[in-house]
Amino acid sequence: MRKPGFCIALCATCLAFVVVLLGAYTRLTHAGLGCPDWPGCYGFIYVPQTEEQLAHAMLRFPDAPVEADKGWSEMIHRYFAGGLSVLVVLLALQAIKRRRQPGQPLGLPLLLLGVLVAQALFGMWTVTLKLWPHVVTGHLLGGFITLSLLFLLSLRLSGRAPAVPSSWRLRLLARAGLVLVMLQVALGGWVSSNYASVACLDLPTCNGVWWPAMDFDNGFHLSQQIGPNYLGGHLHSEARTAIHFTHRLGALVVGVAVALLAWQLFRRGYSVLAGLVLALLILQVSLGMGNILLRMPLMMAVAHNGGGALLFLSLVLVNYRLRAVPHTSAANAFDLPSFLSLSPSIWRRGWNFTIGAVSKGARVVSLLQARR
């Protein structure tokens, strides 16, 4: 039976996914510094438009001329993140209010609130530290963590995702897959924040050779100085190649580990979970290869971020279903994942919420561009 707060948690999960996509779009369009201050934009709560506002912006930030398209990309991302913050606060307040009720999660909503505060700080530092790669990567990871924790909270509140019998070996493999995907996400963030996405322009080789010239020391020099401005990246070609190539090797390791997990799930009768994980793995690998061969088309690059998020969520679901419980009947062991069989109206509400949020954001951008 669903617990109070489930619908809010599900809507927050959908909104967090939208925020991840908007963050990827902002990063990939080089709009991370579209507003040189935080949380406003040139001192306003929106991108300056009138002549008076533009003059004020130029006076305050003479080295950062207003680029409306980039500014709106950044501000719309912030607006959606602000909406997500409201939902997370509501979940935390609701959890505190119902903390004495049986089965009501308390630690998870409070943890989400803490992650939200950290994300706000990372968002501020992304701007104030001029896209320092460490902060940009941390901000991306924080977004994925927020999304996964909200999804986990939705699972716990749904009452429709019971644990299934599993061996400790299968649980260990599932946890290893989750950790490896998270490390690969971190590598992907490092690739993006250091502008190394097109350091290798072919497959399966890199610039025509199997082992190109690479500078791992500078590529993974984690104590590099802060500033002055990392827009476009500072690393030379061989350092960027090292980062890109490492991400490729990580993809091979993750691919083998996740495929092995899917095979083990299928062998034990969890065919829906196995199919879900395998389908998302194939999708993500295909998007990654397409980004290289097609030279990073914007929408495909954004979809690659979304695919990584969905693959990570699928492993959260697997780990949640395989959590250790006393042995139950075989009938439950081979049942379809209960969470996937939620009432169609629930899924419709979550889906409509997501599509509506994206559509409204697109309409706002179009309207503002038309006014220009």
Q: Is 189 helix (H, G, I), strand (E, B) or coil?
A: helix
CA separation (Å) from 26 to 46, 62, 254, 299, 347?
A: 16, 22, 27, 12, 28
Catalytic residue among 51, 52, 74, 238: 74
**How far apart (Å, rounded) are the C-alpha atoms in residues 119 and 349?**
27
74 belongs to the catalytic site: yes
**How far apart (Å, rounded) are the C-alpha atoms in residues 167 and 265?**
11
Q: Which tens digits make up the pLDDT trace of 221-250?
A: 887 777 678 888 888 999 999 999 999 999
What per-residue confidence (pLDDT) applies to 338?
47
Question: 114-118, 164-168, 246-250, 277-281: lowest mean pLDDT where?
Answer: 164-168
What per-residue confidence (pLDDT) applies to 355?
58
Q: Tell me the whole-structure pTM to 2 decimals.
A: 0.85
The residue with greater pLDDT, 226 or 326, is: 226
Mean pLDDT value of segment 295-309: 95
Q: What is the DSSP letter of 3?
A: P
**Tokens of residue 12, six digits:** 């927050």
255 closest CA partner among 297, 283, 220, 292:
283
